[in-house]
């Protein structure tokens, strides 16, 4: 039965070998350790939603292979509507958690991207990658798995390709090809949500040329595979998560980013979908970013929706009518809808791949990435503008102070600003702070790649010379107006 | 045969009664008078494109009623793909002309909007409006007509509804209902492209209540109908159009905006699709703006594409390498693609109406309108930034000066900046000027309604209280945080 | 000797009664407790700079009363040049510390504002406030004191003035006027830098009318005065400050914001400069904001300068050439210089008060406040853009992980990106994080008052009707074009 | 008597030899020809203001040499207050005319710049330039002259310096040095206000090296000097100026830009202030741009003030309450005050030159130039937003149509929107159109040099490496973090 429940999911996580560290300490139980429990609970809500009559349509679908009901994040995305559903699912989940579905979204996208790329490789090389992948997809569907994904390598010296690095392990690579599988080694950096994941889908981090073919590797590994150590990165105000203040801090939601250290990990062949086909790494990046950058618009929109709500309850908790800020709330909504609408537009302008996979329009998707790296910052700024000083830099005392036996009562009586209780005002302030300058801030700028990279794609997918031709024709200019003969010195 | 040719079109225009004035003068032949010939030639290119093997797919389609090939702008838009094709057609046509397809786009949209509204009215009132409309649509398809559209009334005192105006004719209204038709009277203002149109589709300019029911009127009239006088408005640098300088000014392209004075015009019943059903005027506005504001993104994008091209050839004509401005060109492309992608997104998120008509998502479409009223200004600014002083305020001498027998040669030799000829540099400068501060500037701000109106729609289609609920739930806030009891003053 | 040294300053702080709490705990020694030592050390640098031959000119000046050398932040600002020097001092100090001189700047401004207001009150009421103030200023000069300042009250229900609050203590007020002094009670909220201050200058938080005259109070109190309890607020990632990781976290710099609980505090008359003169509270706010909002431009510029530097070293530590980001660095510099230049402009356009005090131009100063609440957010965004994922949400592991005996070496070797050491890259990332999303983020939005308040001042200091007259005259319009008779309904 | 009157000025212009052409036609009388009379009348108002008791303080001052009253635009600017007065004069004049004081401002600045540069040249070369200049300044003061200024050359191929151009006349240069003077030849392009000027101050257009020393020339010539032909450039809607519609078009105000063709013009030595001192051309540019770009902030602010007024009267003429647009009007005022305040700030942060001249701070002045090339576009956009469709692209009929005997009355009655007359609404619309998309649009982008040039100055006046040092010190980073060893390709 593919529609695993919340309990199934939590039980499955408990089965995994502990291999995640934070603050130098091994996390024995990801579902209960304060550094990881928030993201686990947050993803567990997806399983709960799949059982909820109101939400199940959004959180589940049917298998393209078996026709059986499956979790949406295990599904093939073979047409526009499937991708739009991906967006709707993400926006909705952000609204419910205020944060990222990072343990499901990259793996989901990766599997669809590789569906197309394996088809192309099989055609050229006569390999059987797609058949292997299909088998694994069926396994994921059946298991109702949470599969995170990893592209970004630690990289090292950026002026050199992986194979010329002083440190070969700065990028994940194949160190040995054995009969039954491959051995991989190296570091994937800043990988989202692995603490809540059961498996991790690995893709090459960039487009490589032939000399870097060892770095052309795609495969899936169990999160607790032998040889893999995960170190969770710090994030803003993460020490608050270690405090036992569930009644005042943001509970049950959050995301993690980890460094994945692969120390000679053996991956059996049936889980390997690319091995040294450097030529196809460019396709992986191209297809991946097209769909990923179309859909992330929905994530930041969903969080923006919560910021509208947070600003409204904060205004009211401050004793002010939220309508007073209507102009700003409308501006926030416009900013939100731009990234959502652009994502949907990129999908609507997309194309079906020969393999059946569907990919969004690159120019629009990368335009969206640039917006995703810009507009949410303005939405945060407006959230702070509306919320007042106590959300901006978190000028609220700690709960230990507010509940202090001596001076707590004096503080409390003066913290009340309207009808709403001090505790509620306190929580509202913490939410705005968490969303705008705390652990709830997602990686809009570099998550899924940098805006500068997106601008490069915009540059090369905009047919600029064609536009120059249109201009020339409108004016009936007979000359071919070309670049000046003498090259510009820079 | 529905695929009328360029010659058919021009011949049909010649048949019309002259009823258009500019500068106090009656224009006898719209296709040759310098004040209107540019827009006629611009629209004539649509007919030419419909015969062009490369472009015919974009400029034609098949009738939903007869299955026969028809001009695209006479077609029903019954699904997402039809609306996306509307956008593609507009962007492409803007690329070819640098300007607006204003004589076809409003009428086309109006006919589709009324398809839905007539269905609703017929259902409630037992009227036969849709049957009438279908008959007219078949006539338009068959005739390959160019049909402009008119919503905006002259309005008068904006604090009062039409029926309370001192001047009843400030808004178009029904003055008499006769056996065979109705008599209408009043003024439609700033109507685009009527000089190039054969018919005009009239819609109510706003959502009206019962006391204003006389103003609830939708119908189509021939452009030269008895009692209709059209006065073309001025636009920037329009006197240049009267000069005989085809070799230096922007030729064969442009748009017009006119004031339509209806002085007791009789419209036969078969051309009337709404008469005093005030209740449905709100639906007209709602459906119209949803699709219109989704699709205008494509117009400004198409002009933006030409601005990229114009900036490139201007840079080169100035003796500079266009690559020097790559950062700005990429920013222009991003701005362009935002309005295009948002339009496509609004369509992808749209819905099918019971009648078969398809309407874009209002929140996304109105978000797009706000962008359309903002981003093209930045694209223009960048065009001027790249082009240099001679495009910014048109600091280029007149052609009469450049070709003056005495000082012309001195001017000319110093106007040469690189390989390209003086004439070409001259034309390139005129194009940038025309696009950014001349007659080529479209009405991005108020065309199709004001951005403030769009913000109102954003406000009321954003489920703000629902977002406040999400925020409350994420924090487990038990209170219902409501607006403060004491109302905000001011 | 007025030029107290760093050691004098630290010794003076040690003398004070412990009355500051954080996390429910009393801080015995502000100079060494991790929650407050950073801000104390940061301010101690001002004393060190006053002794430094390169910097002393910027950090000291001569007394307007005695002609003796004094610390700059104890000085009267009687002309443009004194205010510009205030700006230069702030920018420079921000460059050295990356953060706010919050323990000196508000008190300094308050004392100058009260110099003018006491003169006005003395003139009207025959009081002797200015003489008292002068005596206190001489004491402050002589003692080389660090004097923070407090305006913002806890406020309570914002729809009501202080005297109608359910909770009178939500705003600081006079509860008793005795022979030798007054008793004050209530809460000042989010007050900057008191942990590093020796005294606190209290001003009314708003312009009050007669019924609120008890809230019209200005005075100075020792930071450890009997009856005063200070609770330090939380700020982003403040728990990191408790860790003993001086080699990796941002050391020796930072700022605090506290809640000041006045529980019937007696203030002797010689320290009271306003008591129930409600009429003059408006002047306090007007003069205070004019100078404060002119000068804060320098603060955010100074931090912006550090962000330019942080972005550059981060790029290099990532193995990239900082020149690659020159366009962004130039944009950051432009944003920085806008707030600095506008501040200087507000001062240049200012006026001398009858009392000798000098005040900046309100329209320009409040325009600057709006920029201060906007531009630094863009500078932060660009810092994150340049720095990459590891600074954006702090995707760097903890130092405990990096130095972990088992997996630390693997992490470390892959964290190296260029010539620079892992430790340096680590520190560079922490600095960018601290500046953009950590404890180094200043309160640009609401610190010194909200941008909405500033917009109100812009509204009322812009002579809009006069501008309408200019427009009318340019066109020779004979009518008086007035607001329409029928009022707009909203 | 130096305070020449309006009549003196007009009489002096009449004395000049006709040498200005537009549309291929010689303009016999600049004060009455429709192509130039607007700018002449606009400048004549300066003379009128100098006699006006309210304004004389702003429009006149006393000579630094003789102590006698002189016109402000003939004065030396030897301190901050003189430069601030320059700004105030410009803002005020823009408010009265809606346009540029282009015939006085460049010459005025040029004379002050050359005061410093001649001092430096005289010191190095033992020349007597400053004495000559002083003599000319006394002549200008005494004559109450209007002196325009010219820097920009036609330039030619921008990849080459002037001396390597195929066409040597593309840049103004010395062709012969005779006993009593020099002969100059070449083209100055897009020079503002010469039609209203009595003399023209010529400066080198760029910083030149030794091989281009013939292009290092500064001198003043009478506007009608033998061998000089001026060709006025076109500007938006300039044909309207030829119509006799003084009652409806913008009257008595405007600006011109001309191409100055120097065909072997002899300039006597006493009017020559630089001749082949290539080394000092860089100083000319540096000093000129510092003051010019500080002060232009006042110009665009003054026009922005008029745009606020124009938007207000347009709203009212449309029948709407201007308060409805208060948020936008406040944003306009903020944008205006930024460029004004930044200009004042650049001046306040400036320095006195050894010669006595005073120059604004380059970093702030060039930051201001970038704003001047950005913010006024937004102010225009908001003017169009508030004004409605009839101002945006000028969708108002011509006056010939409005007053047409047949359909005019119908148009007129429907053009009335509130209390104000049709004529007044008509004029209000024309003013907004003229300001935002007509002949009133000033050259904010490239006038006084391009924003890209300003960004280069920002780049080189921002001490970026010093900022990197501050960042390094704050973190106690021991490494010298330098640019990566391997140079970035591309």
pLDDT exceeds 60 at position B488: no
CA distance D481 to C422: 12
Residues B240-255 as b/e (b if ≥16 CB within 10 A, e otherwise) read: bbeeeeeebbbbbbbb
pLDDT exceeds 70 at position D490: no
Structural Rg of chain C based on CA atoms: 24
Q: Which residue of B has its CA nearest to C488?
A: B159
Confidence category of residue B24, pLDDT binned at 50, 70, 90: very high
Structure tokens at C143: 């003692």
Order of strands across the sheet with B217-222?
Answer: B147-150, B199-202, B217-222, B272-275
pLDDT exceeds 90 at position C72: yes
Angstrom distances, CA of residue C52 to CA of C40, C56, C197, C301: 19, 5, 22, 23
The answer to whether residues B449 and B369 touch, using CB atoms and an 8 Å cutoff, is: yes
Residue for token digits 């007597």? D128
Q: Give residue C248's pLDDT.
A: 62
- Mean pLDDT, residues D436-452 taken together: 92
pLDDT exceeds 60 at position B487: no
Chain centre to alpha carbon of residue B256: 11
From first to last of its 490 residues, chain A has per-residue pLDDT tens of 678 999 999 999 999 999 999 999 999 999 999 999 999 999 999 999 999 999 999 999 999 999 999 999 999 999 999 999 999 999 999 999 999 989 999 999 999 999 999 999 999 999 999 999 999 999 999 999 999 999 999 999 888 999 999 999 999 999 999 999 999 999 999 999 999 999 999 999 999 999 999 999 999 999 999 999 999 999 998 988 887 665 567 888 999 999 999 999 999 999 999 999 999 999 999 999 999 999 999 999 999 999 999 999 999 999 999 999 999 999 999 999 999 999 999 999 999 999 999 999 999 999 999 999 999 999 999 999 999 999 998 888 998 999 999 999 999 999 998 888 999 999 999 999 999 999 999 889 998 899 999 999 999 999 999 999 999 999 999 888 889 876 444 4
Q: Where are the alpha helices (DSSP H) in B323-450?
A: 326-348, 362-372, 375-387, 389-392, 399-402, 408-415, 422-437
The answer to whether residues C378 and A116 touch, using CB atoms and an 8 Å cutoff, is: no
3-state secondary structure A229-274: EEEEECCCCHHHHHCCCCCCCCCCCCCCEEEEEEEEEEEEHHHEEE
Q: Give residue B419's pLDDT.
A: 82
Q: Do B159 and C486 touch (CB under 8 A)?
A: yes
CA atoms within 13 A on the CB side of C163: 13
The closest of B35, A80, D112, A410 to C168, measured between CA atoms, is A410
Structure tokens at B136: 């007219």
Q: Is A53 on the interface with D (CB under 8 A)?
A: no
CA distance A197 to A467: 47
Output the average pLDDT for chain A.
Answer: 95
CB atoms within 10 A of CB A460: 13
The answer to whether residues B114 and B284 touch, using CB atoms and an 8 Å cutoff, is: yes
Confidence category of residue C14, pLDDT binned at 50, 70, 90: very high
Question: A477 to chain B: which residues are within 8 Å by CB?
Answer: 313, 424, 427-428
Q: Give residue B245's pLDDT.
A: 60
Angstrom distances, CA of residue B96 to CA of A464, A467, B86, B249, C399: 15, 10, 16, 16, 60
Chain centre to alpha carbon of residue C148: 9
**pTM to 2 decimals?**
0.96
Question: C91 to chain D: which residues are within 8 Å by CB?
Answer: none
Which of C21, C24, C26, C318 is the mutation pick for testing A, counting most A CBs within 10 A? C24
pLDDT exceeds 70 at position C247: no
Residue for token digits 């070998």? A17
CA distance A195 to A27: 10
CA distance B170 to B148: 20
Sign of the Cα pseudo-torsion (D454, D457, D461, D464, in order): positive
Q: Where are the alpha helices (DSSP H) in C154-232?
A: none
pLDDT exceeds 80 at position B353: yes
- Mean pLDDT, residues B70-99 taken together: 97
DSSP category for residue D16: S
Percent of chain C with pLDDT over 70: 98
CB atoms within 10 A of CB B16: 17
pLDDT exceeds 80 at position B2: no
Structure tokens at A258: 């980890």
The answer to whether residues B328 and B386 touch, using CB atoms and an 8 Å cutoff, is: yes
The closest of A435, A411, A97 to A237, measured between CA atoms, is A435
Residue for token digits 């700030």? D345
Which of C323, C475, C482 is the mutation pick for testing D, counting most D CBs within 10 A? C475
Nearest to B467 among A305, A345, A476 (CB): A305
Residues D449-467 as b/e (b if ≥16 CB within 10 A, e otherwise) read: bbbebbbebbbebbebeeb
Question: A96 to chain B: which residues are within 8 Å by CB?
Answer: 470, 473-474
Pairing of strands B25-26, B60-62: unpaired
Window A:75-104, CB contacts with B under 8 Å:
80, 84, 95-98
Taking the CA of residue B27 and the nearest CA in chain C, the distance in Å comes to 31
Q: Give residue C488's pLDDT.
A: 46
CA distance C113 to C131: 14
Question: B489 to chain C: which residues are within 8 Å by CB?
Answer: 159
Q: Do C427 and D477 touch (CB under 8 A)?
A: yes
CA distance A437 to D367: 30
The closest of D162, D163, D190, D185 to D173, measured between CA atoms, is D185
- Mean pLDDT, residues D191-205 taken together: 97
For Cα atoms D359, D361, D364, give the angle at the middle one, nearest 5 degrees.
140
Confidence category of residue B244, pLDDT binned at 50, 70, 90: low
pLDDT exceeds 80 at position B106: yes
Angstrom distances, CA of residue C209 to CA of C280, D2, D417: 9, 55, 42
Confidence category of residue B303, pLDDT binned at 50, 70, 90: very high
Chain centre to alpha carbon of residue B217: 21
Q: Give residue A490's pLDDT.
A: 44
Q: Do C441 and A393 touch (CB under 8 A)?
A: yes
pLDDT exceeds 80 at position C245: no
The answer to whether residues D18 and D26 touch, using CB atoms and an 8 Å cutoff, is: yes
pLDDT exceeds 70 at position C103: yes
pLDDT exceeds 70 at position C2: yes
Q: Give residue B251's pLDDT.
A: 84
pLDDT exceeds 50 at position C28: yes
Pairing of strands A20-22, A228-232: parallel
Question: A484 to chain D: which residues are within 8 Å by CB?
Answer: 157, 159
Q: Give residue A246's pLDDT.
A: 55
- The phi and psi torsions of A156 (rounded to 5 degrees) equal 75, -145
Nearest to A407 among C261, C401, C404 (CB): C261
Q: Is B179 on the interface with C (CB under 8 A)?
A: no
The answer to whether residues D346 and D80 touch, using CB atoms and an 8 Å cutoff, is: no
Question: C404 to chain A: which residues are within 8 Å by CB?
Answer: 21, 24, 231
Chain centre to alpha carbon of residue C51: 24
DSSP category for residue B296: H
Strands (E), B85-129: none
Q: Answer with the residue of higher pLDDT: B245 or D2.
A: D2
Kindly list the partner chains of chain B, i.e. chains with 3 or more CB atom pairs below 8 Å: A, C, D
Residue partners of B352: CB distance under 8 A and separation at least 6: B78, B79, B358
Q: Is B474 on the interface with A (CB under 8 A)?
A: yes
What residues are paired with C261 via a beta bridge? C187, C229
């Amino acid at each position: 039965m593919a529609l695993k429940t919340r309990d199934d999911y939590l039980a499955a996580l408990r089965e995994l070998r502990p291999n995640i560290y934070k603050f130098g300490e091994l996390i024995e139980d990801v579902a209960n350790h304060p550094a990881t429990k928030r993201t686990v609970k947050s993803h567990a809500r997806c399983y709960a939603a799949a059982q909820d009559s109101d939400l199940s349509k959004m959180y589940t679908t049917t298998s393209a292979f078996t026709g059986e009901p499956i979790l949406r994040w295990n599904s093939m995305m073979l047409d526009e509507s499937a991708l739009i559903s991906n967006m709707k699912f993400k926006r909705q989940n952000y609204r419910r958690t205020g944060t990222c579905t990072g343990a499901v979204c990259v793996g989901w996208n990766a599997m669809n991207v590789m569906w197309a790329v394996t088809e192309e490789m099989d055609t050229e090389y006569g390999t059987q990658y797609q058949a292997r992948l299909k088998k694994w997809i069926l396994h994921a569907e059946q298991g109702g798995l949470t599969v995170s994904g990893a592209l970004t390598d630690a990289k090292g010296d950026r002026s050199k390709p992986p194979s010329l690095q002083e440190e070969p392990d700065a990028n994940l690579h194949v160190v040995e090809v054995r009969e039954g599988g491959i051995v991989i080694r190296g570091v994937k950096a800043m990988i989202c949500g692995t603490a809540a994941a059961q498996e991790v889908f690995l893709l090459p981090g960039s487009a490589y040329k032939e000399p870097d073919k060892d770095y052309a590797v795609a495969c899936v590994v169990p999160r607790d595979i032998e040889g893999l150590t995960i170190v969770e990165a710090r994030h803003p105000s993460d020490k608050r998560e270690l405090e036992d203040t569930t009644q005042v801090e943001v509970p049950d939601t959050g995301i993690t980013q980890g460094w994945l250290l692969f120390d000679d990990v053996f991956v059996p062949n049936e889980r390997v979908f690319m091995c040294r086909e450097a030529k196809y790494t460019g396709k992986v990046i191209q297809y991946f970013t097209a769909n990923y950058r179309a859909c992330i618009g929905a994530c930041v929109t969903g969080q923006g929706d919560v910021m509208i709500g947070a600003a409204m309850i904060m205004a009211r908790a401050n004793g002010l009518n939220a309508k007073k800020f209507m102009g700003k709330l409308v501006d926030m909504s416009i900013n939100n809808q731009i990234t959502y609408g652009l994502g949907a537009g990129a999908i609507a302008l997309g194309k079906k791949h020969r393999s059946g996979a569907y990919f969004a329009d690159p120019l629009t998707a990368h335009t969206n990435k640039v917006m995703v790296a810009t507009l949410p910052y303005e939405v945060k700024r407006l959230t702070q503008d509306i919320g007042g000083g106590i959300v901006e830099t978190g000028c609220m005392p700690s709960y230990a102070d507010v509940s202090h036996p001596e001076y707590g009562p004096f503080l409390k009586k003066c913290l009340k600003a309207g009808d709403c209780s001090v505790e509620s005002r306190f929580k509202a302030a913490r939410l705005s702070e968490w969303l705008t300058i705390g652990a709830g801030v997602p990686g809009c700028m570099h998550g899924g790649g940098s805006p500068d990279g997106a601008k490069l794609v915009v540059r090369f997918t905009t047919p600029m010379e064609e536009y120059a031709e249109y201009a020339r024709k409108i004016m009936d200019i007979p000359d071919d107006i070309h670049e000046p003969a003498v090259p510009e010195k820079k």
